[in-house]
Amino acid sequence: MSTRLLPAPDMLIGKRFDVALAKMTGLSRAKAAELVASGSARVLGRDVDKAAVLLEGDMIEIDEHDPEPVAEPIATDMAIVYEDDDVVVVDKPVGVAAHASVGWTGPTVLGSLLDRGVHITSYGAAGRQGIVSRLDVGTSGLMLVCKSELAYKEMRRQFSEHEVVKTYEALVQGNLQEDKATIDAPIGRAKVSDFRFCITPAGKPAITHWDVLERFGEATLARINLETGRTHQIRVHFSSIGHPLVGDPMYGANPKLAQECGLQRQWLHAMQLDFRHPRTHVWTTVTSTLPPDLSHALDVMAQRRDAADLQQV
């Protein structure tokens, strides 16, 4: 419990204590009267009841009960696809954050693992222990968390030196002209929003390699490897070449196409992680499968492509 000390405002001098308290706190008059009666609201230096008149110079002290901590929701559908004494790799569902942050009230990878009794190293910033690489809330797929101190040090090094191979699949709008290419363009925070990023000379280096997997005419499925790991890198890079990810209106995607595909988020999934095991140094590969919403969107795109081909016959 904490207390709040407030001077009696000039405009409320001469008013009943309960009336003034209600105006000062935004509470109902009845609730304010309850606080006075219980002793949770009082005037310092004199004994008053709810009908007492406030005087110039009065200081009002109010007890405030700290809110009960709200339990973090748990991602019960988050699969563990690889685990040993050093690392755990999860298949993160959409709508799950990597770790807790200001304003986020949904489930997190870290919280859900701890709830299951998975030991996580204490190494790392508070609330982000064991995390050496993250995925956006709206991106699904593989994410590695460190269980041992040895793993945290080594995997942090591997990620920072770009030794880990991170393979994504993305469905982008339009028909990519080339079968494979590289986007090399620096990324920084956009001035128009704290949540958006953009191509800017002042940004950090960012390199994205892609290969076409399947063409649908109005969209293209691509396999993507990141040489760097900037926030929103894939989304920003493909938007910058005129091919935003399907379902990503923040970076220019057509919301109508997303709706017709049944998408409520960007079509992006972390499909594979390749890394050298931090203890054994054995090259390790972990793979994922597409979640239902992304698979459904591909089925819709294939049907639209086939229907368009039939019309041309």
| Count of structural domains, the chain | 3
Q: Degrees (nearest 5) of the Cα angle 281, 282, 284?
A: 120
- CATH number of the domain residue 284 falls in: 3.30.2350.10
Residue 5 pLDDT grade (very low, low, confident, very high; cuts 50, 70, 90): confident
Average pLDDT over residues 170-176: 97
In a shared domain, residues 134 and 182 = no
For the residues 63-92, what does the mean pLDDT come to?
A: 88
Q: What is the pLDDT of residue 9?
A: 84
**Which of 140, 161, 182 is the C-terminal boundary of a domain?**
161
Looking at the structure, do residues 112 and 168 belong to the same domain, yes or no? no
Query: Do residues 228 and 279 make contact, with C-beta atoms less than 8 angstroms apart?
Result: no
Query: What pLDDT does residue 308 have?
Result: 84
**pLDDT-derived band of residue 70, with 50, 70 and 90 as boundaries?**
low
pLDDT classification of 23: cutoffs 50, 70, 90: confident
Q: How far is CA 86 from CA 75, 108, 145, 235, 285, in A?
A: 22, 20, 9, 31, 15
Is residue 285 over pLDDT 90?
A: yes
Q: Where does residue 188 fall: left (phi above 0), alpha (psi -120 to 50 degrees), or beta otherwise? A: beta
Please list the active-site residues: 136
Write out pLDDT tens, residues 53-65: 999 889 999 988 7
Residue 153 structural domain: 72-161
pTM of the model: 0.77
User: Does one domain contain both 237 and 172?
Assistant: yes
Q: Are 94 and 265 in contact (CB under 8 A)?
A: yes
Q: Are 177 and 122 in contact (CB under 8 A)?
A: no
What's the mean pLDDT when you consider all of the chain?
93
The stretch 164-189 carries a mean pLDDT of: 96
| Residue 180, Cβ density class (10 Å: 0-12 exposed, 13-18 middle, ≥19 buried) | exposed
Q: Find how far residue 220's CA is from the centre of its chain.
A: 26
Looking at the fold, whether 276 and 169 belong to one and the same domain comes out as: yes
Residues 311, 283, single domain; the answer is yes
- Residue 306 to residue 38: CA distance in whole angstroms: 73
Per residue in 228-255, pLDDT (tens digit) is: 889 999 999 999 999 999 999 999 999 9
Q: Is a pLDDT exceeding 80 seen at residue 2?
A: no
One domain, residues 166 and 313 = yes
**Both 112 and 50 in a single domain?**
no
Report pLDDT for 104: 86
pLDDT beyond 70 at 66: no
Contact by Cβ (8 Å): 119, 87: no
Q: What average pLDDT score do residues 111-136 get?
A: 93
Mean pLDDT of 207-219: 96
> For residue 103, what pLDDT band results from cuts at 50, 70 and 90?
confident
Per-residue pLDDT, averaged over 274-300, amounts to 97
Which distant-in-sequence residues (6+ apart) come within 8 Å of 295 by Cβ?
A: none
pLDDT tens for residues 30-55?
A: 999 999 999 999 999 889 999 999 99
118 and 208 co-located in one domain:
no
Query: Is residue 120 located within the same domain as residue 262?
Result: no
Measure Cα distances from 80 to 142, 233, 268, 287 in Å: 9, 25, 19, 11
CA distance 17 to 307: 74
Query: What distances in angstroms separate CA 139 from CA 96, 115, 216, one per listed residue?
Result: 9, 22, 22
Does 30 lie in the same domain as 103?
Answer: no
Over 80: is that where the pLDDT of 188 sits?
A: yes
